[in-house]
Amino acid sequence: MSFPKGFLWGGAVAANQIEGAWNEDGKGWSVEDVVTFKPKVDVKDYKANVHTSLEGVKAAMADPDPTYYAKRRGIDFYHHYKEDLALFAEMGFKVFRLSIAWSRLFPTGEETEPNEKGIAFYEDVLREMNRLGIEPLVTLSHYEMPLELALKYNGWADRRVIGLFVRFCEVCFRRFGKYVKYWLNFNEIDSLIRHSFTTAGIIPELCGERGELACCYQAAHNQFVAGAMVTKLLRELVPGAQMGLMLTKLTTYPHTCAPEDVAATQKKNLENFFYADVQVFGEYPRLILRDLEKRGLTPEMEPGDLELIRAHTVDFVSFSYYNSSTESVDPNVERVPGNTILGVKNPYLPSSEWGWQIDPVGLRISLIELYDRYRKPLFVVENGLGMRDTVEPDGSIHDPYRVDYFRAHFREMEKAIDAGVELMGYTSWAPIDLVSANTNQMSKRYGFIYVDQDDLGQGTLERRRKDSFYWYQKVIATNGENM
Ligand code: BG6
């Protein structure tokens, strides 16, 4: 079987990694604007670039040196969006996933009226996409919240942030609803346990006696409640629109068939599913509640929270998939990085320079697992390969490794579809080179389109088509027949 008619092929980005213009037209500070770039960061240390202390955040706010704050520059999509959207249209995109920077609409998060200049920017972008026939897929929260809310409330650990987020979403639905059918609430919602500052604005020293982890689970609960409220609101304000959840699919295999390794793997996978379970089934899994209780991490819930979560579940399940890993109870096995995780090295898989283990079959396994568990349409909203690219003297960029990566993953998607999985679409991460989330490097490139900018922000910002650009164009034109 091949890809279904109307399959949504496209690409995905996040505001904080592309827009730049971090303080233009009334935009406020976001948590990502104080995230530093450190040139020789250890690939295993995905938190190395993130300030997790109040002192660090304040020092970053006082530091004008643009060299260390790559996210403040992005790839200047703010001023290049027409050119970039035209390139996506040239590739034949049916869909483009982007996020709305909360701090562009509500600079401190607490204004009573939104910043009209921020709204105008997104209206222009969405109108242009509409004109080009590209369906928007909008993430409401992608590693970006007004920094003020982190400093004042400790981010999502405080319930008061729920109402502020709902107000932001209401503005998005009212002003952008006519252009947007598909919405995602929280990007990689499970990741707040792994990088709580960028995902949820949590500053550990503000967490008090219960500690950072308790704060994180409280933040997760607050996001579940906010997610349910926002889904309810979307259904009231934009009839026919759909809300999806977004999970980091941390596909984990037992390192060996020793039952203890299998049990440890099972535990890890259940933790990963937890964040989707709540949003699809409308209730906390009993095993997770028990585990949180034993560890003294049960979040505080208010009357009515669980009813809300039960009543407003999501329409579809989206996820990111970059790599798989394995789990072992043996403390001496080698651990390697993946997307915000450290897993045990799988001897059967190759790794990228950043250590992420490439596993196309794992995508098929993930699709089948998620569909069998949730029986909801699925959407692969992130998948791609970060690599260094070389620009040849004639300006061309040959990236057969990227084509190989995508082709292998697409073949596995086909097999999952053939097995009966309902797959709505696929957005590659990322169709254009951008600032990497974990390392803040430019040189970890994902795009079909090259951007002339280095890790220190030097370059003309010129866009160039890589070989993979033409390949993806052909894939989309033939709906996956010709890879
Ligand atoms: C996901 C994020 O975790 O992985 C993206 O949603 C991110 O924002 C992507 O860019 C790839 O990670 P990295 O660190 O290679 O940019």
pLDDT for residue 1: 62
Interatomic CA distance for residues 16 and 187, integer angstroms: 12
Interatomic CA distance for residues 317 and 377, integer angstroms: 6
Taking only the tens place, the pLDDT of each residue in 146-186 is 999 999 999 999 999 999 999 999 999 999 999 999 999 99
Residue 136, strand partner residues: 96
Average pLDDT (267-282) is 97
pLDDT for residue 233: 98
Atom of ligand 1 nearest to the CA of 354: 15
Atom of ligand 1 nearest to the CA of 384: 11
> Any idea what the Cα angle at residue 404 is, between residues 420 and 265, rounded to 5°?
55
* E strand map for 17-118: 95-99
Interatomic CA distance for residues 250 and 443, integer angstroms: 24
C-alpha 437 to ligand 1 mean position (Å): 5
CA-nearest residue, atom 15 of ligand 1: 436
Q: What does DSSP assign to residue 387?
A: B
Tokens 């499970």 label which residue?
190
Mutate to test the pocket of ligand 1, among 190, 272, 339 (most ligand atoms within 8 A of CB): 339
Q: What residues flank ligand 1, with Cβ below 6 Å? A: 14, 17, 143, 187-188, 320, 339-340, 382, 386, 429, 436-439, 444
Interatomic CA distance for residues 31 and 29, integer angstroms: 7
**Active-site choice (135, 188, 212, 412):** 188
C-alpha 225 to ligand 1 mean position (Å): 25
Average pLDDT (24-34) is 96
CA-nearest residue, atom 4 of ligand 1: 339
> Any idea what the Cα angle at residue 162 is, between residues 158 and 164, rounded to 5°?
105
C-alpha 339 to ligand 1 mean position (Å): 7
- pLDDT at position 119 over 80: yes
- pLDDT at position 46 over 70: no
Q: How confident is the model at residue 116 (pLDDT cuts 50, 70, 90)?
A: very high
Q: What is the pTM of this model?
A: 0.97
Taking only the tens place, the pLDDT of each residue in 358-412 is 999 999 999 999 999 999 999 999 999 999 999 999 999 999 999 999 999 999 9
How many other CB atoms are found less than 10 A from the CB of residue 72? Answer: 21
| 55 is an active site residue | no
| 382 is an active site residue | yes
Taking only the tens place, the pLDDT of each residue in 282-320 is 999 999 999 999 999 999 999 999 999 999 999 999 999
CA-nearest residue, atom 9 of ligand 1: 437
pLDDT for residue 37: 77
C-alpha 436 to ligand 1 mean position (Å): 6
Mutate to test the pocket of ligand 1, among 98, 189, 192, 320 (most ligand atoms within 8 A of CB): 320
Interatomic CA distance for residues 455 and 460, integer angstroms: 13
166-97-81-78 Cα dihedral, nearest 10 degrees: 40
pLDDT for residue 79: 98
Average pLDDT, the chain: 95
Which of 336-350, 403-417, 428-442 is predicted least confidently?
A: 336-350
C-alpha 474 to ligand 1 mean position (Å): 26
DSSP string for 265-313:
HHHHHHHHHHHHHHHHHSS--HHHHHHHHHTT-PPP--TTHHHHHHHS-
Interatomic CA distance for residues 249 and 272, integer angstroms: 7
C-alpha 209 to ligand 1 mean position (Å): 31
ipTM score of complex: 0.98
